[in-house]
A and B are shown apart, each in its own frame.
Chain A
Amino acid sequence: MSDADKALVEFQNVSFTISGTNIITELNLVVERGETLVLLGESGCGKTTTLKLVNRLFEPSAGEVRVEGKTTTAWDPIALRRRIGYVIQEGGLFPHFTIARNVGLVPALAGWEPKRIDERVQELLSLVGLEPGRFGDRYPRELSGGQRQRIGVARALAADPPLLLLDEPFGALDPLTRASLQREFGDLTKRLSKTAILVTHDVREALILARRIGLMHKGKLLLLDTPEQFLASDHQQVRAYLETLELKGGDQ
């Protein structure tokens, strides 16, 4: 019982196949409440697919994914998704909605009172460091990449979901903006004690944000450990990642 309470998301022997190709093979993984788990890997390793298996954009070909103890195929997909915040690169904002309407989307879908949505939007815009009065009525195209990404996070947090899924959220940003957003996001998740699964190919981002890092390669989870132990590991793939880091460090 206490185990199920502790685990928010659970992968049990999950495989995912598209037209004969194995994208995910025999994945076992437990995401604990309150932790930020970073899935690290190169393009095509299956990390984004893993994310989409959680909010049932995909369904496993074998095994099962449980969210809050209930397998995703047993969840009503709409109810499941409204309990999970989702952030993608560039925010995936609706270009025809104002910022306020983008942020207030999930509360609106849940049927909140307009006044309550309004208050919530103000609160969230302040939370991600954007003045509500200045940004609420603008459209996504009028914002910078970093601002859009903040809105993406605010939108994901709007209905106060217990779980956040983030797919390379900071990937399209310039290095300086990325660094400051990573820092703010780290503070935010700790302060709100959110559970988050974040996907990235940037080992530096993983080391900054993760409580645990899962290293994925060709549809398999090679390693799952804290950043400290990740740094100490002598696994070949881990060393390869860390070498790029040192190389970068040397350059700077």
Chain B
Amino acid sequence: MSFWQFLQLNWSELLLLVRQHVVLVFIAILIAVVIGVPTGILLTRYRSLRGPVLGIANVMQTIPSLALFGFLIPLPFIGGIGTRTALVALVLYSLLPIIRNTVTGILGVDPNVREAAVAMGMTSGQVLRQVELPLAMGVIVTGIRVATVIAVGVTTIAAAVGAGGLGVYIFRGLRQYDNNLLLAGALSAALLALAADFFLGLLQQQFSFEAKHSVAGSTVWKLALAAAVLIVVVGGLVWWRGGGSTSAGVARVSVGSKDFTESALLAEIAAQMLEKRGVSVERRFELGGNLPHEALVNGTLDLYPEYTGTSYTAILHHTPISDPRAVYEQVKQEYASKFNIEVSQPLGFENTFAMLVRGEDARRLNLKTISDAAPQAPRWRAGFGQDFMSRADGYPGFSKAYGLKFAEVREMDLSLTYIALSSRQVDLVAGNSTEGRIATLDLFQLADDQHYFPPYEAVYLVRQDSLTRVPALQEVLAKLANGISTDEMRRLNYEIDGNKRDPKGVVKEWLAKRGL
């Protein structure tokens, strides 16, 4: 599909994401200005506060954005997942340039002019409002301009906490190895940044009183103002029409997923079945790391798909064991007592870590199992997702169990590992056993001959209070028990990753075929 065709098919969704993106940035910058400018003014009055406050703002900005989102998730009030968390992070990032430029701008006002203002009998408030702020405005607007451009970029990360925006396309594009999605997301974000830079640049010119363009200036000023008003009005209108459509009395359920295709598919299956039963569903898909668990525990989510092995090791911190029944029972019992979370019946398939090599290598070297591959490891480069690298049952334990020593281990995004393998960037990756691209990219799964990896049966995790609140949840979970085989799952995954189809359509079709 050409990029042009892609845009024609998806323009309404793209516009929706652009709208979410713009609204997020706009609100965040608005809040940052309301906090930052007065703080900056305060710092010009109290010199001793300047070092500490600017220091804190500085540190804030050096925190990698994904890490900052991570810190914010567990916090009450400002944390959780969704728009609010994204806004808090965006505001924190935007504060430094705005505060710093307010301070610099005001301190940079010609001391003669300031003294003249005082000597004319202006009160300190009048000096600030009539002289210091107007003369510092050019520098302050520069700060807002810098903050806005940064915010447009950081907002793409906000998709990881379920706040939407163009990051949704970027993350999805990375995961599905779909250049159209990537391009649409990244290009739109870049254009937004350029547009913001341009309009704020026009605004900034209005405040440079040294330049000689007072006559032409007034026209540009009106133009920029008109554009700004237009953006605010249109943005506000679209936002107002988009938001707040829930009516009272309808049961609402928030369904989450992790940031890979299968998790999103399973979440979509539950979502559509719930919607068919008159439940209003809020989709919070594609959440990174442990976010879905945290969100489920703190009540932001009602349900998300999980794997028993992940819960057993990564959440409950048990040493891996190989008996699927024992793992399931243990997880079910501990989730109930520790988190008040119910574990559904297994869905019928396992998604375990799959050690993958190129098919041609497997045939040439006659590799069948991981043990077969161990002698090759010193000459191989391995590529692992962040998740696999960090968890106890991941790389550290795995390499020890099989005595593997690779020439090089690269940590990369999980969705990139398959393509990295097939394009010879790396020689072995840890993928998912239900991954659709295993067949399409001619990859080979090495058997886990020492039964190192614990069982990873797919289940839904659901809050107990949600089950009582929304009876439809029980019905849906009962219908899905043992309802999806490994083959079926692989095929569903392939429809998305291989055939680049829309997940909603694929799920709708499958549900219809299964009579669910």
Contact = CB atoms under 8 A, between A and B. Distances in A.
B123 to A, nearest CB: 6
A55 interface: yes
Of the four ranges (under 10, 10 to 19, 20 to 34, 35 or more), the interface on chain B belongs to 20 to 34
Interface in B78-92: none
B212 A141 contact: yes
B118 A109 contact: no
A237 to B, nearest CB: 29
A197 interface: no
A166 to B, nearest CB: 12
A81 B118 contact: yes
Contacts of B210: 95, 141
Contacts of A79: 121
Interface stretch (A1-9, A30-38, A85-93, A119-127): A85-93
A192 B392 CA distance: 91
Contacts of B126: 109
A84 B115 CA distance: 14
Given A95-B209, A139-B209, A86 B116 contact: yes
A92 B116 contact: yes
B120 interface: yes
Contact of A57 (B118, B134, B214): B118
A199 interface: no
Contact of A81 (B121, B130, B212): B121
Contact of A78 (B115, B121, B131, B214): B121
A94 B119 contact: no
A142 interface: yes
Interface string A94-133: 1110000000011001000000000000000000000000
Nearest to B130: A94
Interface residues of A, number: 26
Given A92-B112, A95-B113, A109 B120 contact: yes
Interface string B193-221: 00000000000000101101010000000
B112 A88 contact: yes
A121 to B, nearest CB: 15
Interface string A130-156: 000000001101100000000000010
A210 to B, nearest CB: 22
A82 interface: yes
B122 interface: yes
A105 B116 CA distance: 11
A96 B135 CA distance: 7
A81 to B, nearest CB: 4
B279 interface: no
B135 A86 contact: no
Contacts of A57: 115, 118-119
19 contacts: A57-B119, A78-B122, A78-B123, A81-B121, A82-B120, A82-B121, A84-B119, A88-B112, A92-B112, A93-B113, A94-B113, A94-B116, A95-B209, A96-B207, A109-B120, A109-B122, A138-B214, A141-B210, A155-B120
Interface of A: 55, 57, 78-82, 84, 86, 88-90, 92-96, 105-106, 109, 138-139, 141-142, 155, 165
